[in-house]
Structure 1
Amino acid sequence: MKTILIIEDERDLADLVAFNLEKEGYRTLTALDGANGLELARSQPPDLILLDLMLPGMMGMEVCKILKKSEKTAHIPVIMLTARGEEIDRVVGFEVGADDYVVKPFSTRELLLRVKAVLRRSLPDKPEGKVINVGPVTIDTERHMVAVEGDDVTLTTTEFKLLLNLAERLGRVQSRDLLLKNVWGYNYVGDTRTVDTHITRLRTKLGQAGELIKTVRGFGYKMEE
């Protein structure tokens, strides 16, 4: 049974989300502020976190930053919940490590679809184990690890899948829409900026090796030596 941690200061909304998730067979934990949410994430690591942006005391962005900097919680996917729908909020959310973003008011169906999609792509793929080398970058699919010139690089599951998708299609241009389909598993209608933001984070984590990922203006990305 998958466990989902809900960090949401509106008690009624938190209870409603928990009720609907439990109907779908999930186990839920609830925290009404960021500090308690962090404590629960550390003491009872969930499979996914639903994190409100506007929290008392500690904002959701700060909570997400702390989660993603800790080795114990960095792997846990995060879906941001917020009443703010401006693009800048979505971009900042992705930049601090959020895996998805749902704007209030949202339908139960939409939230459940997002939860299922994020959980699905957070599961390690089980292809035949192989090691892919692109320049100084080594991708070990069996161990789900990436290294640059022998030094391990910590990537989120989404970043790993994005890098692997590009590396397996070396030299071939991948459109943003195709990357959304292959990596995220469903379409973000009109929200290809999601790909751009994750590519920026991926390049940063790879350091100079990030230059292997090329932008094809007006279309998408490719990886080449």
Structure 2
Amino acid sequence: MSLLFAIFLLSLLLFESRTDGNRILLVLRSADLLVRVVLCYFLYGYRQSFIRLGATLLVFSRSLSIAHQLVELPLVDWSFELIDFAGMTFITVSLLWQLRDFITEEFYKLIYLDSLTNALNRHAFFKIARKILKSKRSASIVYIDLNKFKEVNDRFGHMVGDRVLEIVYKRLKSVIREHDLLARIGGDEFVALLPDTNRSQAVQVVQRMSERFCNPISIMNTTVQIGMSA
């Protein structure tokens, strides 16, 4: 409010020859320009060029309208509204596009990913695996069950147990290839689908997994040691 009052006083001093109505309109447009500059500052934090362009157009339009009121530029009145409309259109479309991507990503996480580990859930695994197996590509399936995980839950609580599952998933994920599938299908049960592999190659993957499980897990001032069966 103090900033608006300062703008009002400045306008009274600079434009004494103008009518009260024109001075008030100029003050309002100046305040609107200030708000648009602040908005532009925040919108420039987005990397999308259309959002930045829209914010720039909004500032340019209000600056042009103030200049027109002061020196009577050779412009028609509706030109300012046209620039405003273009700026708001760029911003609105860009934000809606971002919102669409966000909603799509959230729906994907909800439908296909395990909420705790971000691994594929049971539904997603069977859906994707079915397509791979129908293509008649050679593939191996590795079923993984954690050893002594129930003891971790009973002794340290589910909070530690949940964190252990997250670390287990990351360790398993680091062993397999990017296009391999890894899903959590039960409490402490994981399954991996390895396309284009034979039995000996799958055994090598399991051996690497076992080596990763040899390292104890340190979390919340607690060290736990769990194993795996595959």
TM-score exceeds 0.5: no
Point out which structure has higher relative CO (alpha carbons under 8 A, 6+ apart): 2
Q: What TM-score comes out, normalization by structure 2 length?
A: 0.23
Larger Rg belongs to? 2
The structure in which a higher percent of residues are strand is 1
Q: What TM-score comes out, normalization by structure 1 length?
A: 0.23
